[in-house]
Structure 1
Amino acid sequence: MSAEDRYVRVSGPRELQAMAESAEERPAPDGVVVDITYCGVCGTDVHGYTDGHMLPPAVFGHEWTGVISAVGDEVTGLSVGQRVVGGVGPACGRCRQCAAGHARQCELVFAEANGVDEAAPAHGGFGTRVRVSARRVIPVPDGVTDVEAALVEPATVTFHAVRRTAMELGSVAVVQGAGPIGLLAAQHARNAGAGRVVVSEPSAARRSTAEKLGFRDVVAPEQLATMLMEITDGLGADVLFECTGVPSLLQPSAELVRRGGTLSLLGYPMAESTVSYADWQTRELTVIGSLAYNHEDFVGTLRAIAGKRLDVATLHTGTIGLSDLGSMLDELDSGSSSHTKVLVDPRK
C-alpha cells in the first residue's frame, strides 16, 4: 500500500479541500480497504458541494468501485484483488423494523445508504482509497467492466424505485427527466414490462441519449401532454416516474396520471412542494416514494448489467481527475453541461 492516501472533501459552500494522510495499513477486523478505480459524480454530490454542509462525509462520492487491497481478520468471502462496488449490506435481522417483519426497511441498511451508520467511512470515494465495513462491498461479476461497475449505484437507486412501484405488465409509463436517473429508470421500466415508455426531457442532448438507448417516444416537456393523450386516448399515464426533483413539477406531473394510476417519486426536491390533496384523493392516485436501495437491489442490478439487459455505459460521457472535480461540479450545477455521467479517476 502507498504511504499516503489522498481524497477530496467539501469544506464549505462551493469549497473543496484536498487531503493527504498516512495510509492505514490495516482495515477494521470486520472491514476491508478498497483502492478506488472510479467514482461517479452524482446530483447529490453537486447539492452537497453548493450547500457546503448537508452531506455526511461518506456520501460525498458514494458511487464508487475499486479493488480490495486488504481484508480484516474476521472477514470471510472476500479476498485481496477482488473487484467490488460500494453498497449496503443485507437486512440486519435485529433492528425494530426487522423484528417487526419489515426487513426491506431495515434501519441499519437505511443508515448505511445515507452514510450515517456507526461504521461509515471518514470520507467518500473521491480519493485513492476507502476503508469500509465488509458488509458494504458487493463483488463485481467478470462480465461487468470497471466503467459499468462505477454506474451500478445510480442504476440500483432506480432498480429499487421501479421494483417498489410494481407496475402492471403493459403499462404506459412516463419518465420525466432524462438525466442519469431518468435514463436508468426508463430502462428498468422497460425491463419490468412497460408496454410503452415515454421520456420527457428539455435537453436535446439528453433526448438524443434516450433515443440511443432505444426509446422511440422521446419529447420535450411542452409536447408531453399532447403525445400522452394521443397514446392513451385521453386517459393519461398508468405510471409516471418523476425523476427531476423540481418541486414545481410535482402537481403537474400528478395531473398527467390517469385516475387510479401511480405517481412514483425518484427525484429529490430541495424545497417544499405545493400539491392538490383533493385532486390526488379524488382521483385515487397511488403515490410511491423511493429513496436509496436494499442489498438485493444491488444483486439484481448487477445481474441486469452482466446480462446486457441494462445499458449503463452509454451514460458515461467523461472521466476527470481529482483536481478537476471542483470545476466539474460547477459545470454540472450550471444546468448547461452536456455531460450525462462523469467519472472521477483518482489516479489521473
Structure 2
Amino acid sequence: MTTATESKYVHMSAPGVAETVVGEDLVPAPDGVIVDIGYCGICATDTHGFTSAALPPAVFGHEWMGRISAIGADVTHLEVGQRVVAGVGPACGVCAQCRAGHAANCDLAFAEANGITDDAPVHGGFATRLKVSARRAIPVLDALSDEEAALMEPATVTFHAVRRANLRLGSTVVIQGAGPIGLLTAQHARAGGAGRVLVSEPSEARRAAASALGFTDVVEPGGLSALLTEVSSGLGADVLFECSGVAELFQPSAELVRRGGTLALLGYPGTNSSVSYGDWQSRELTVIGSLAYSHEDFLGAMTLIAEGRVDVRSLHTGTIGLGELVPMFHELDSGTSKHAKVLVDPRR
C-alpha cells in the first residue's frame, strides 16, 4: 500500500529557534510505514537540543505514538490503523556485535535508538505525520490508552536500566533525582523486587509526586545520607540509580553505594565528571551505564503498565499543540516549570 500523505513538522533551525514546515507528501519506503502522530512527549533531551540545536533531526521529538496510515509493499507484520510507538527493531543478526554473539548490543538497534541510521526520518515526532522504518514501529497493547502509549519510550528507557542493574529481591535502592526518569525508575525497581526504595530530590513538587506514587522514603538531598545509614545499618545502597545527570554528583553518588554494590547511570551529564578511581577499585563497585533500550524491553514495560504495576498517567501534566512548542521549551529550560511530562498533540 503506498498512500501519499501531507505532513507538517517542527524542526530546529538554530539554537533556541524552531520553525514549522509543511512537508511534501509522504510515501512509505518498501520496508517502512507512515504514522499519523497522536502524541509526542517532550524529553529533557529535546529541551537541551532546542537550546543547542545539536540533536540528530530524528531525535528531536522521539517519544511519539500514533496510528499507521500507510505501509510499504514489503511490510507484513503491521496493519493500517494499528497503534504504534517509537522503538527499535530486533537484533539484526548481521552487524559486528550480532556476529560476535552480542545481540543485546546490536549496532543497528543502537543506531536506531540514536536516530543515526541511513534511513532515519528527516524530523521527529513533533509532527502530524512521520515516515519511519517498520522496524521502529512497535505495536501498542490494547489495554494502554493513547496517553500511556505516548509515555512508553521513557518507561522503556527505565525498564532497560533496572533490568541491566540485576536487582536482587529485597535490595536497598536509592533513586537520585525524581523527574520523570527517576519516578519511572523507582517504580520499575519496586516492581523488580526492591526492598526499600529511597528517593532523593531537591524539588518539593517532585518529592510530592514520588510520595503520591506510594514511596515513603522521600527526602531532600541533605537528608539522604542519614536515612540511608539508618535503613542499611551503615552499609550503603545495594544499587543507586543516578537519574539527575548532574556531573558533580558522580563521585558523591558512588560514595553512597556499599562495598560491592552497584552504581547505575541514567542521567546524561553534558560535562565531564571527576571521580576517585581508587575509591571505586578498593570498594569493588560495579558501575553500569544505560542508554535507551532493546527491542524486547518494550513488551516488558508495556505489560507492567497494562497490569497497573507502573503508573505513567500521573506523570502527564500538560498537553499543548505544535504552535506552543517554543514557549514550552523556554519554560522547561528555565528550571522553574512545575511540569513533569508534557505531551504535544499535533491535532490541536
Q: TM-score range by the shorter chain?
A: over 0.9
Which residues of 2 match residues 147-158 of structure 1 at below 5 A? 147-158=147-158
State whether structure 2 residue 18 is matched by structure 1 residue 16: yes
Cα drift, residue 22 of structure 1 = 2.7
Q: What corresponds to 1:169 in structure 2?
A: 169
State whether structure 2 residue 166 is matched by structure 1 residue 204: no
CA distance in 2, matches of 1:234, 1:335: 34
Q: What corresponds to 2:43 in structure 1?
A: 42
Which residues of 2 match residues 235-250 of structure 1 at below 5 A? 235-250=235-250
Q: What corresponds to 2:191 in structure 1?
A: 191
CA distance in 1, matches of 2:308, 2:119: 34
Deviations 1:279-314 (A, max 9, x none): 111111100000110000111111111111111011
CA distance in 1, matches of 2:22, 2:5: 10
Cα drift, residue 18 of structure 1 = 0.9
CA RMSD, aligned part only? 1.0
CA distance in 2, matches of 1:232, 1:74: 56
- Structure 1 ranges of 4+ moved more than 3 A: 1-4
State whether structure 2 residue 215 is matched by structure 1 residue 215: yes
Q: Quick one: which amino acid aligns to residue 259 of structure 1?
A: R
Distance of aligned partners of 1:201 and 1:330 in 2 relative to their CA distance in 1, 3 Å threshold: same
The alignment partner of 1:295 has SS state of coil
CA distance in 1, matches of 2:195, 2:23: 53
CA distance in 1, matches of 2:301, 2:120: 23
The alignment partner of 1:194 has SS state of coil
Q: What corresponds to 1:32 in structure 2?
A: 33
Q: Quick one: which amino acid aligns to residue 79 of structure 1?
A: E
Q: Quick one: which amino acid aligns to residue 269 of structure 2?
A: P
- TM-score normalized with structure 2 length: 0.98
CA distance in 2, matches of 1:36, 1:307: 25
Distance of aligned partners of 1:2 and 1:323 in 2 relative to their CA distance in 1, 3 Å threshold: farther
CA distance in 2, matches of 1:223, 1:38: 38
Q: What corresponds to 2:258 in structure 1?
A: 258
CA distance in 1, matches of 2:5, 2:147: 27
Deviations 1:292-341 (A, max 9, x none): 10000111111111111111011000000111111111111111110000
Q: Quick one: which amino acid aligns to residue 29 of structure 1?
A: P
Cα drift, residue 170 of structure 1 = 0.5
CA distance in 1, matches of 2:306, 2:118: 32
Q: What corresponds to 2:316 in structure 1?
A: 316
Cα drift, residue 108 of structure 1 = 0.2
Which residues of 2 match residues 294-305 of structure 1 at below 5 A? 294-305=294-305
Q: What corresponds to 2:90 in structure 1?
A: 90
The alignment partner of 2:181 has SS state of helix
CA distance in 1, matches of 2:4, 2:79: 19
The alignment partner of 2:275 has SS state of coil
Q: Quick one: which amino acid aligns to residue 90 of structure 1?
A: P
State whether structure 2 residue 148 is matched by structure 1 residue 131: no
CA distance in 1, matches of 2:132, 2:341: 25
Distance of aligned partners of 1:104 and 1:3 in 2 relative to their CA distance in 1, 3 Å threshold: closer
Cα drift, residue 3 of structure 1 = 6.0
The alignment partner of 2:296 has SS state of helix
Deviations 1:117-156 (A, max 9, x none): 1121110000000000111101111100000000000010
CA distance in 1, matches of 2:5, 2:176: 47
Cα drift, residue 23 of structure 1 = 2.0
Cα drift, residue 77 of structure 1 = 1.6
CA distance in 1, matches of 2:159, 2:52: 28
Which residues of 2 match residues 51-70 of structure 1 at below 5 A? 51-52=52-53, 54-70=54-70
| Structure 1 gaps, min length 5 | none
Q: Quick one: which amino acid aligns to residue 333 of structure 1?
A: D
The alignment partner of 2:281 has SS state of helix
Aligned residues: 346
CA distance in 1, matches of 2:5, 2:162: 44
Cα drift, residue 168 of structure 1 = 1.2
